[in-house]
Amino acid sequence: MAELDASKLKVTLSEKKSKLLDNDKLVFGRSFTDHMLSIEWTEAEGWAAPEIKPYGPLVLDPSCCVFHYAFELFEGMKAYKDAKGNIRIFRPDMNMIRMNKSAERICLPKFDGAVLTDLIGKLIKIDERFIPEGQGFSLYIRPTLIGTTAGVGVHHPDRALLYVILSPVGPYYATGFKAVSLEATDYATRAWPGGVGDKKLGANYAPCILPQLEAEKRGYQQNLWLFGPNNNVTEVGSMNVFFVFKNPQNNKNELVTAPLDGTILEGVTRDSILKLARERLNPDEWEVNERYYSINEVAEKAEKGQLVEAFGSGTAAVVSPIKKIGWKGSDIDVPLLEDKEYGQLTKTVQQWIMDIQYGIDEHPWSHVIA
């Protein structure tokens, strides 16, 4: 059974050289670079030789299990150009660990994450000219693993395809770093204990669109997922979510997000924010907690003036400030800094992460591509 092996890489360069889009023309995940990484796997032989080849369509039998039973998972990462022209990626080890966990859960093949990171680096180098420059701009990396066994019996896949495509992107929201409005969703549930809500499976995404469209219909930009009889806050759209509360007992601020109980995506940005907040915020002034909290607690705290700010977190948007939350027919107003579209910590955290991503703050989380 062959392991994933970067030394077997075959490179076929594209004859086409696409024109680059201007930064202001970049729409998230819409345009792609000239090449892709593609690696086939079979149960009998293991991982075939990796190939970098011209970006092009997949040709698959209509009975392939990816079309019928959602044997599919992905990751989201970004490559950044730093001021010296180095290419950096952010905590790729975390994405590789998560991707392997996702694969294991739906019986797709695992692989050595360091080898895939190395191969992704080689792909990025080939398409380096597509990395847009400027704060908020990057090359979005989409590693994808699909089951390709033909036949509609419900079995574990004995064939799979791992591929990586690259998309030059600007800020996720066309509106830029602007606070969003959310509608809390109590009629649909994203994930459940014993389910797969903590894995980056395709299966977790399609069912999330309807609640988002419903929220949009009523004038909100995203939906806020709740869970259980207490309506605990879990995630926002397809991001993790953080709240800041003022604790009147000890006069500290509390940064809070839901714990990883199997219903929450194990966000790399979420983890980074928690680690940086615990390191860098003054413990005399701050508590950082992973705990359950309900939308009712948020509403109560807002009423008492103890809701300080809130933001979503994820690779695509990094952080996304929140300005209001529709719940039970009225809106919970989330404070923002005067004349700004964000709260103080939201801005601070965004700067921390982006400074590491762009190599302004030299940090072990930022991986320079050789």
- Which residues sit at the interface with a second copy, rule CB under 8 A? 27-30, 32, 36, 55-63, 65-72, 74, 104-107, 140, 142, 144, 146-147, 151-156, 163, 165, 167, 187-189, 191-196, 201-210, 213, 237-238
For residues 314 and 321, which CB has a smaller minimum distance to a second copy in the complex? Answer: 314
Our CB check for a second copy shows the closer of 265 and 274 to be 265
Cβ closest to a second copy, residue 74 vs residue 130: 74
Q: How far is the CB of 233 from a second copy (least distance, A)?
A: 15
Task: Give 64 or 276: the residue with its C-beta nearer to a second copy.
Answer: 64
If the CB atoms of residues 144 and 366 are measured against a second copy, the closer one turns out to be 144
User: What's the CA gap between 171 and 136, in Å, rounded?
Assistant: 5
Smallest separation (angstroms) from a second copy to the CB of 353: 21
Closest CB to a second copy among residues 101, 252: 101
364-370 long-range CB contacts below 8 Å, 24 or more apart? 365/90, 365/91, 365/272, 366/88, 366/89, 366/90, 367/88, 367/89, 367/90, 367/91, 367/92, 367/117, 368/86, 368/87, 368/88, 369/79, 369/86, 369/87, 369/88, 369/89, 369/121, 369/124, 369/125, 370/121
Tokens of 243: 């709240």
Q: Least Å distance between CB 308 and a second copy?
A: 29
Nearest distance in Å: CB 68, a second copy:
5
323: helix, strand or coil:
strand
Question: What is the spatial distance between Cα 294 and Cα 279, in angstroms, rounded to a whole number?
Answer: 26
Instruction: Give the integer Cα–Cα distance in Å for 225 and 142.
Output: 25
**Nearest-approach distance from CB 324 to a second copy, in angstroms:** 22
CB of 7 to a second copy, least distance (A): 25
- The token duo for 358 is 């762009």
Question: Residue 17, exposed/middle/buried by CB under 10 A (0-12, 13-18, 19+)?
Answer: exposed
